[in-house]
Structure 1
Amino acid sequence: MRYLVCLFIIIISSCTNANRSIKVKGSDTEVNLAVSLAENFYNVNTDFSLAISGGGSGLGIASLLNGQTDIANSSRPLNDEEIALLKAKRIPIRTVIFAEDATAFIVQKNFPLDSIDITTLTKVLNGKYRSWKPVTGQNVLINIYGRQSNSGTHSFISKKLKIEFSRDAKEMNGNAQIVEGIKRDGSGIGYVGAGYILHNGTNGPVKVLKISEKLGLPAVSPLDKKAIAAHRYYFQRPLYQFIPLTSWSKVASFIDFEKGIAGQRIITSLGYYIISQ
């Protein structure tokens, strides 16, 4: 079953001019964090207007290329084609890495595994294993709850595991929809931002699997802050903001807020991680 991309917009504004009107578009992994940062920034900078929308990293980068955003949020780096298009359109940009996230793989709370190794996970996600029998001994079909191809998280996992996802994978609109799917499906596996899990709590019918890079090696949780700080979790990544130089002067104060004490507190309070130096 395929799902359409979901786009939502949050506007935080006052009566202001275009030089203080900031548009932020892109990654669904980052959108809740961006909204919280924008709300708190506006509390001390009420002469600004901020419009925050999701829809996926690909949409944010497309908006950047089309001159429709001041900040493109992305949970993946630019690819070669996007870099070439930016050069062809003569759009110089600045890249800001403002936080770090980990991708969590989730199953129903009573699922008979607490961890999974990379080799097995790869066979599950690419469709080589259609049933859980080789993994758990239970002869039930595997249901994959993932994201659309324009999602940075989809791209991140695909590249990290060097796979194409199973054609049967369900394409969901975002973290919340994936979690709801897993809650109802005892044979489902999905992936969401660890920040989303940490912010919304881990109690309830969803379990976060620990990940082992090889069978027999210790498994690491994406919710383990010490492991993330030590770069021991296989699916952790930086979060990007791509900003056209023409917009830099008006977004600079917002970027400074993100990097300041208040912004860093918001980042960690929502379950994301500070970039380690």
Structure 2
Amino acid sequence: MLLGCSSNNKSIKVKGSDTEVNLAVQLAENFYKVNSDFSIAISGGGSGLGIASLLNGQADVANSSRPLNEEEINLFKTRKIELRTIVFAEDATAFIVQKNFPLDSIDVKGLRNILSGKYKTWKKVTGQDVPVNIYGRQSNSGTHSFVKKKLAIEFSRDAKEMNGNAQIMEGVKMDVSGIGYVGAGYILQDGTEQPVKVLKITEKMGLPAISPLDKEAINAGLYYFQRPLYQFIPTTSWGKVEAFIAFEKGALGQKIIRDSGYYIIN
């Protein structure tokens, strides 16, 4: 997406996280309404792509749903690229199934067994002897890395690698035995709940099952799969990006973040 046209010192390129891309577009559109001398180009493709774009001098802001890894940190040091790190919102990863799926909640151990491929069918979880179909992201996705790390697994080799949250949502809607993961902000779009079921998650049997859409639980830090959302900005780009970051942190920016299904950092 491209908004506006202007000189290079007010032309901002934002690349990266697919989890954040819809939110970034909303923020940019509203920022442009009061800062029409700026132009902002926004694209997704995954956190890894955004970070690589910074390393290659092809972006001013990398949206990322994960922190930098050790290899990336070393590359920035080697190339003498200094970064500012902004944590501008919080997201909860939602695990989704078809609307009529015979399960409302799952514990972390069961999820680990499903997504790792240890369970090939749903029989031990739902009693139904139907194959598990996993809709996931590619390895350059921050959400892929986040889920993998939280569950301490390697994903099943049979997992489908989708380009983004929207594709995962569409796949799961059509698949009676599918399971996928998306950013909670994708569950509510334009105030309309998507035709999928969001599973509640419990860390272990006997503990409360919590929804990623439960704002009070998220604010209390109780959901197992909640995480900060990052923006990495080279110091050489800070001058032209600073006004946009200030807008995000202002009253309207914070309202847009909340209204888009994301959470404010307290």
The two structures have a TM-score, normalised by structure 1, of 0.94
State the match for 1:260 in structure 2: 250
**Cα offset, 1:202, TM superposition:** 6.2
1:178–1:192 CA contact under 8 A, matched in 2: yes
Q: Is the counterpart of residue 166 in structure 1 residue 159 in structure 2? A: no
Q: How many residues are treated as equivalent by the alignment?
A: 266
1:199–1:269 CA contact under 8 A, matched in 2: no
**Cα offset, 1:13, TM superposition:** 1.1
Q: Is the counterpart of residue 12 in structure 1 residue 10 in structure 2? A: no
Q: Distance in 2 between matches of 1:262 and 1:92?
A: 29
State the match for 2:40 in structure 1: 50
Q: Deviations over 1:224-268 (max 9, x none)?
A: 000000000000000000000000011000000000001001000
Equivalent residue for 2:84, pick from 64, 74, 94:
94
**Cα offset, 1:174, TM superposition:** 1.1
State the match for 1:214 in structure 2: 204
**Cα offset, 1:204, TM superposition:** 5.6
In the TM superposition, 1:1-277 aligns within 5 A as 10-14=1-5, 16-199=6-189, 203=193, 205-276=195-266
Q: Distance in 2 between matches of 1:244 and 1:254?
A: 14
Structure 2 residue ranges without an equivalent (≥5) = none
Q: Distance in 2 between matches of 1:122 and 1:186?
A: 20
Q: Distance in 1 between matches of 2:140 and 2:196?
A: 26
Q: Distance in 2 between matches of 1:204 and 1:94?
A: 35
Q: Deviations over 1:108-160 (max 9, x none)?
A: 11111100000000000000000000111110000000100000000000011
Would the alpha carbon gap of residues 251 and 211 (structure 1) be closer, same or farther in structure 2, given more than 3 Å must change? same
Would the alpha carbon gap of residues 103 and 204 (structure 1) be closer, same or farther in structure 2, given more than 3 Å must change? closer
**Cα offset, 1:216, TM superposition:** 1.4
What is the one-letter code of the residue matched to 2:2?
I
Q: Deviations over 1:12-58 (max 9, x none)?
A: 013x2110000000000000000110010000001001100110000
Identity across the alignment (%): 74
Structure 1 residue ranges without an equivalent (≥5) = 1-9
Q: Distance in 2 between matches of 1:42 and 1:228?
A: 30
**Cα offset, 1:198, TM superposition:** 2.2
1:107–1:208 CA contact under 8 A, matched in 2: yes
Q: Distance in 1 between matches of 2:159 and 2:37?
A: 45
The two structures have a TM-score, normalised by structure 2, of 0.98
Superposition misfits of 4+ residues, deviation over 2 angstroms? 198-205
What is the one-letter code of the residue matched to 1:168?
D
1:109–1:204 CA contact under 8 A, matched in 2: no
The alignment's C-alpha RMSD in Å is: 0.9
